[in-house]
Structure 1
Amino acid sequence: MLKTRILTACVLLPLVIGAVFFLSEPLWIGFCAVLLGFAGWEWQRLAGMSGVVARLYPILVPVSFFALWYYLPFEFRAGLIFAAALFWLLAVPLWLRCKWTLAQAGNLNALLGLAILLPAALAMVILRPNGLTLLAIMMVAWIADTFAYFTGKAFGKNKLAPGISPGKSWEGVYGGILAVSIYVLLLPKPFILFADSAFAIPAAQAVLWLLIALILTAVSVMGDLLESLFKRQAGMKDSSNLLPGHGGVLDRIDSLLAILPVSAAIYLMQLL
């Protein structure tokens, strides 16, 4: 199992990094649309959708993405990004606390799927002018997940959410926060936060970037937990078997679905 997992990662990681840096914008948008198609297929299974809506959903998601990017104004896309950021920061903690079930909504889950998947895909385009910013943000999710896993294995005693994901611990979360904080402080900053304010001084910038590290690590954990909740409610171990040793596409991007819109919202705030 571990060997299969490593081999799959050795194929996927260069593929994704190569796409980030070397694809033209139209090809990158197409790459994101393909990912959305697979994620949409997994979502309709996870959400218990049925009938023609379920069958067409893997096509509906990428088509909606193309329509958003090419035919709707920037202001609409930005508004969707900010709404998604608020969803992850405010609504998802409540969702995890109340443990609402997808099965109650049936095919209406198509709308929730669009609200989760599309902003992340839009963020993947918005944050990719030169590839470095997008890769740096994706690294936040990977670092948080990796260090949370190993810290939890080594020191985990206090369960984070035993009713959702019994393997996760608060110690793992703290390890992820520490690792991401160090990473963010050492990383060359893509821009000065609130450059025209009193926060432009170095000390204030360090505090703001640490706050961003805390927020991104928190939403990374919530993205992971939300998908785990959906899978547990659906009686599924993985969202699919598309990726040998890793489960499905949603299993690999659950943290990114949360981090990307929040990061894009912070990025867009600097442009307003």
Structure 2
Amino acid sequence: MTKVRTLTALILTPLAVAAILLLQTPWLVALTAVVFLAGLWEWFRLAEIDDTLSRTVLLLVNLLLMVALVWASRSSTGGSLVLFQLATVVGVIWWLLAALWLKHYSFASDHDTHARMFKLAAGTLAVVPAWCALALIHAGQPNGHRWLLVALVVVWAADSGAYFVGRQFGKRKLSPRISPNKTVEGLFGGLAAGLAVGIAGALFAGAQVAQLPAVALIVVLAIGASVIGDLYESLLKRHVGAKDSSNLLPGHGGILDRLDGVLAALPVFALGKAWLGF
């Protein structure tokens, strides 16, 4: 499984990096909208929306919300990203609430209409703000494309570091009821890997040495958020008895299984970057 997981990553990672560094922001935003909506489609499965027509309608509603945000941001002077900024703040607030949800495992764990409504709302609050945050980071000047790559590589490195350190040294369970395989040792391994990559990446993106403490703070917060995102998706899977969100990516599960941490980390990184000014 580790070999398959690594091979899949080796194929997908260069494509993602090339898209981030080479595409202009409007094209990247359009491409990632497709990817994020594909992840949302899998989210609907975890929310027990089994009917294809219902899933399609819900997906179109979220697509229209994305289109509305883009349309409302246009102006005669080239546009404003205020709505994207507001959506990013909403995303950060949502993930703080999601952290509280993790403490109450049984909340919305039944299979009635009210539980589905909570989880469907959660899907929109996770996906749309993350997409807006991605656009904000990539559109930022200077070197927004590099900063977006840093934000994503931090999550990838933290995830890989947690996986390998947890497998080798993990003993203390991080959240045994939600995700039995995650360990405290893996968490610290992921923090170390993500922080190292984040500092190196920040220099690549043009940060000054004096800005590195601020970058380190936001990287740690973004990694913490990514852990919440990962655990929250695990919570959804536990509620419905699913191992993966789908079987689309060999060794990795579904698209949502690769996006869960990213969805939570991007709004935190975008807000922190804007707040601390690096």
TM-score range, shorter chain: 0.7 to 0.9
Aligned to 1:95: 101
1:74-113 matched pairs, under 5 angstroms? 74-88=81-95, 90-99=96-105, 100-101=107-108, 103=111, 104-107=114-117, 109-113=119-123
Which residue does 2:76 correspond to in 1?
A: none
CA distance in 2, matches of 1:248, 1:208: 34
Say if 2:85 and 2:133, in contact at 8 Å, map to a contact too. Answer: no
The letter of the residue matching 1:71 is: A
Return the offset for 1:98: 0.7
Paired residue type of 2:162: A
CA contact (8 A) 1:164 1:228 kept: yes
The one-letter amino acid paired with 1:256 is V
Change (3 A) 1:115 1:179: same
Offset from partner CA, 1:33-58 (integer Å, 9 cap, x none): 21123112111111123555423223
TM-score (norm 1): 0.86
Are the counterparts in 2 of residues 158 and 169 from structure 1 also a CA contact under 8 Å?
A: yes
Q: Whole-Å Cα distance in 2 between the matches of residues 101 and 247 of structure 1?
A: 24
Partner of 2:249: 243
- Equivalent in the alignment of 1:219: 225
Contact 1:39 1:249 in 2 (8 A): yes
Please state how far the C-alpha of 1:166 moved relative to its aligned partner.
0.5
Name the SS for the 1:64 alignment partner. helix
2:88/2:129 contact within 8 Å kept: yes
Distance verdict in 2 for CA 1:186–1:20, change over 3 Å: closer
State the TM-score, normalizing by the size of structure 2: 0.85
RMSD: 2.3
The one-letter amino acid of 1:85's match is V
Alignment correspondent of 1:35: 35
User: C-alpha distance in 1, partners of 2:198/2:11?
Assistant: 27
Gapped regions of structure 2 (runs ≥ 5) = 74-79
The question of 1:176 aligning with 2:190 is answered yes
Instruction: State the secondary structure of the residue aligned to 1:239.
Output: coil
| Residue-pair matches, total | 261
2:138 match: secondary structure: coil
Uncovered stretches (5+) of structure 1, i.e. residues with no partner: 194-200
The superposition leaves residues 185-227 of structure 1 with CA deviations (integer Å, 9 ceiling, x where unpaired) of 334355779xxxxxxx93xx44433322321221111111110
> What percentage of aligned pairs have identical amino acids?
36
CA distance in 2, matches of 1:105, 1:53: 16
Q: Does 1:262 align with 2:263?
A: no
Go from structure 1 to structure 2 and tell me whether the alpha carbon gap of 1:3 and 1:149 turns closer, same or farther (over 3 Å shift). closer
1:151-210 CA-partner distances (Å, limit 9, x unpaired):
1122211100000111111111111122223333334355779xxxxxxx93xx444333
Q: Distance in 2 between matches of 1:2 and 1:63?
A: 38
Distance 2:24 2:217 in 1: 33
